[in-house]
Amino acid sequence: MRTLDEQVLKVTKEIVAKFIEVGRVSPASFDETFKNVYKTVKEAILNHALEEE
């Protein structure tokens, strides 16, 4: 089973890859965008887990 961080990383990678495909992310903004998407995905998962408890 994958850890939470591995799952978040995979989802983030897929989202950022789509952003690159449609031209929403440039090489200059990749670092900031990846960090923001990672943080958002992780927060969403953690908030959802807390709501289920």
In the chain, where are the structural domains located?
4-52
For residue 28, give both structure tokens: 């200059």
The CA–CA distances, whole Å, from 40 to 1, 49, 51 equal 22, 14, 16
Mean pLDDT of 37-48: 94
Pairwise CA distance, residues 53 & 42, whole Å: 17
Counting every residue, how long is the chain? 53
Tokens describing residue 49: 């887990």
pLDDT above 70 for 1: no
Give me the mean pLDDT over the 18-47 stretch.
94
pLDDT at 50: 81
pLDDT over 90 at 32, yes or no: yes
User: Quick one: which of 1, 3, 16, 19 has its CA closest to 45?
Assistant: 3
What 8-state DSSP symbol labels residue 21? H
| pLDDT tens digits, 9-29 | 999 999 999 999 999 998 899
Tokens of 20: 């690159």
- Write down the pTM of the prediction: 0.85
